[in-house]
Amino acid sequence: MSVNLCIDWGNTNVKAAIFANDKLQKQVIFSENAALEHVAGLLETHKPEKAIICSVVQSGSELEKLIVSKIPGTLVMTGTTNVPIINAYLSQDTLGPDRLALVSGAHYAYPDKDNLVISLGTCITYNLIQKNKTFRGGAISPGLQMRLKAMNVFTDMLPEIASLDDEPLLLGYDTETCIQSGAANGMASEIDGMIRAFQERYTDFNAILTGGDAPYFAAKLKSKIFADPDLLMKGLNLILNHNVPFPQ
């Protein structure tokens, strides 16, 4: 049985997934401080033969050393890594490798569609992979927590909102509920608007929602979407297999 380890080191958390014969078997999320302990446990328990590390932060060298010590052929992904699609992004040196993984996974799942992958994390990334396998880019905007924090940091009087109600009011009745309305309803309206704009240009079209805040927003959007919380890991597994053959 072939076993792969996929690591997604994001701006907020670290995620790890185990694939056995290309089937997702286990996925865990943990803090940066707990990364070494959790990954060491996965290496010991599952004994993966191949690994891929996708990171959008500068830290993580100790984790990389740990994985490479156990799996010498570990693939450390960048914006220029060989992928099973056409990467036509013009500034690949600043391209988050997670975006490549997302569109790779989307094209594999829906090869006959133009797919807009919307990832809701620290930032919102809109990533279009055309049905001719070409990724040229999309858009980036602030994510939910960034919006909430920015309103506090860049003003003198607006409070920081730690969490949102499940259904924020459209008409806020005090400062806190007004901030909630603006952040959540404004973000939902942005996403719907971006989906409509892409849909007008690309007719055989899918919108795929993923990322940490996707469950919160999935029911708040008016547009038809497909939700796939595991899309990034599926894309990483594809890219790993594309670059590193299974040990004989």
List the catalytic residues: 98
The Cα-based distances of 95 to 163, 193, 194 in angstroms read: 30, 24, 20
What is the 8-class DSSP label of residue 245?
P
DSSP state of 122: S
The C-alpha atoms of residue 72 and residue 82 are separated, in whole angstroms, by: 19
Residue 111, classed as helix, strand or coil, is coil
Query: What are 60-68's contacts with CB under 8 Å, separation 24+?
Result: 60/9, 60/32, 60/35, 62/36, 63/7, 63/9, 63/14, 63/35, 63/36, 63/39, 66/36, 66/39, 66/40, 67/5, 67/7, 67/39, 67/43
Q: What are phi and psi of 16, to 5 degrees?
A: -135, 145
User: What one-character DSSP code corresponds to residue 161?
Assistant: P
For the stretch 76-79, contacts whose Cβ atoms lie closer than 8 Å and that sit 24 or more positions apart, written own/partner, are 76/52, 77/52, 77/53, 77/101, 77/236, 77/239
Return the bridge partners of 76, or none.
Answer: 53
Beta strands 205-210 and 114-120, pairing class = parallel
